[in-house]
Structures are given as C-alpha cells and as structure tokens.
Structure 1
C-alpha cells in the first residue's frame, strides 16, 4: 500500500511541476518584462522561425568596456514559448559577460536536447525544459538564443537586413 501512495504522489508532483512550467510560460508571454528596445543599442539582431512564424528583434546594451551585457530587450511576435523564452533569457543575461552569455546559449541548447539544466542562480531558465518533450517546439524556444549568439558574435550593430533563422535546426 505504501508504494502505491508514493507512486501517486510522484505522479501528482510531476503534474504539478508541469502546470507550474506552463503557468510561468503563459505569464511571461502575456506580460513580458523585457519587451522594448535598449537605449543605446550596441548590438541588434533579427530572427525568424519559419516553422511557427515567430519573429524576434533583439537589442543589447553593453557596459562601457563592451564586455558585459547591461540590458537586453526584445520585440517580436510569436507563440507563447518563443516570447516566454525571450523574456526569461533577457532577464538572465543582465550583468553577464559576453563569454558567459555565449556559454548560456550552449547550455540552453543542451537543455533542449535533455542533456543539461541551468545551475541554481539561473534556475528560472529551467522552466523551458518541458519544451524538450515536444521536438517541433524546440525551434520556438531556441529562436531568441540563436539571435543572441549572432548579436554577440557580431563586431557591432548587425544590419537590420541580417536575419538568423531556425530553419536549419533539426
């Protein structure tokens, strides 16, 4: 009898956790905290996910030395997953060095493959782990991270005609 109760408890906990993840994603989609454009704009990148129609325009403000992210904002339209991912990413990047931000891109993409998760200090990003269960939606979650990588790897303002796409992502 004891093992049955334990099993039911575990199933309920997983269900409650999934509900919490969905709630956070919907909250960030409906009321994003980092929507807009930085002032000034030190890095700029547009992105598109053709499979879902998501678009994003990411702007970054760097510190005076140009090696740390002071602010990240985004504009765009898309599904709840892509917009929530962008908002959570923008929050997590405040105060990160460019090197640390690029490492976060790698960790996020590993998380989408079920191979990693974020440490305690960045655990809010782990809310997106549930997306990995739906392979077709991974491109939605990754869009802002692809745009971030392109923006950080550019040597200055990316041209507004430059566009990163999740098309090649499998």
Structure 2
C-alpha cells in the first residue's frame, strides 16, 4: 500500500469514527468522570468510566463532547480500546499515545486501531486535538472519585 493510500485510509477511519461514534454517551454507572477542554480550538469532552468492583479495571468508557473530527475520533477510538484494561494498562496507553504523537511509538497489534491517529503527528497544530481525550483519561484515572473531578482539564500547556 502506498503512503498516499495509507493516508487516505487513516483519514477515512477518522471520519468514520467522527460521524458514527460507537462509544458516545455516558456509562451506565459512573465511577470516574472528567471534563477536558482545548482552549486553542474549543474542543470539549466529558469522559465517564465504569470500573469493576475492585476499582482496578475499566468495564466501560464513553464520552460526550463537541470538537473537530480528530478530537472526536480519538475519543471514540480510545473509549473502545479501554474496555477490559486495568487502570495501569490504561495509563500506559496514555503514555504510548503521547509518544506516538511525537513519532516515537505505535500501538501493538492487538491495539492497532489506535495507530490510525499516527498521521496527526505530521500536523503539530492538530496534536492537541488528538491528545485532549487522553489527557482527560489520565486525569480521570488519577482522581480518587467522581466528586474530585469537577473542573476541566486543559491541554493548553502541552508541547505541540
């Protein structure tokens, strides 16, 4: 597959997740909730997580929000990839995604759907759009409970 065809495929997948998200809404039970905002372009997201009884594994993840195709596709892809992951695995995924945006990593075969976001790294101004939902996830997982996550997380200070 040529680089041009690959880029077209990535764009098609991003648009598909933007137009028909599979993980939009709120989880049935909300154990973690966090809002994120990208002030430079106005993207907003509200992420909800349902954890298992022990509180160490993600049973469901959903999002609501408004923003560009990249931000919303990133949220939908992330929410789908989180199901069944431990909190530690999810935090590792955040780091891997951020490294991927710097061109330093990619996801393994079992999470390869997330690699469609790699193309965004070629457009530094759009990296914040893709990273917003991952910053929001990290804040949600690091907060003790729903009540402590009332404010917005911003990725404005993030290096492009």
TM over 0.5: yes
Question: Is 1:122 aligned to residue 83 of structure 2?
Answer: no
Tell me the residue number matched to 1:149.
138
Aligned residue among 4, 20, 24 for 1:35: 24
Question: Is 1:71 aligned to residue 66 of structure 2?
Answer: no
Measure the CA separation in 1 of the matches of 2:92 and 2:71: 20
State which drifts further: 158-167 or 88-97: 158-167
The root-mean-square deviation of aligned C-alpha atoms, in Å, is 1.0
- Superposed, which structure 2 residues align to 1:46-85 within 5 Å? 46-85=35-74
Consecutive unaligned residues in structure 2, runs of 5 or more:
none
Runs of 4+ in 1 over 4 A off after TM superposition: none
Displacement of 1:52 in angstroms is: 1.1
Post-superposition Cα deviations, 1:124-150, rounded to whole Å, max 9, x if no partner, equal 000000000000000000000000000
Computing the radius of gyration over CA atoms, which structure comes out larger, 1 or 2?
1
Question: Is 1:94 aligned to residue 88 of structure 2?
Answer: no
Consecutive unaligned residues in structure 1, runs of 5 or more:
1-11
Contact 2:34 / 2:150 at 8 angstroms: preserved in 1?
A: no
- Superposed, which structure 2 residues align to 1:17-32 within 5 Å? 17-32=6-21
In the superposition, the TM-score normalised over structure 1's length comes to 0.92
Question: Is 1:138 aligned to residue 127 of structure 2?
Answer: yes
Displacement of 1:121 in angstroms is: 0.3
SS of 2:62 mapped into structure 1: strand
Measure the CA separation in 1 of the matches of 2:38 and 2:113: 23
Measure the CA separation in 2 of the matches of 1:46 and 1:157: 11
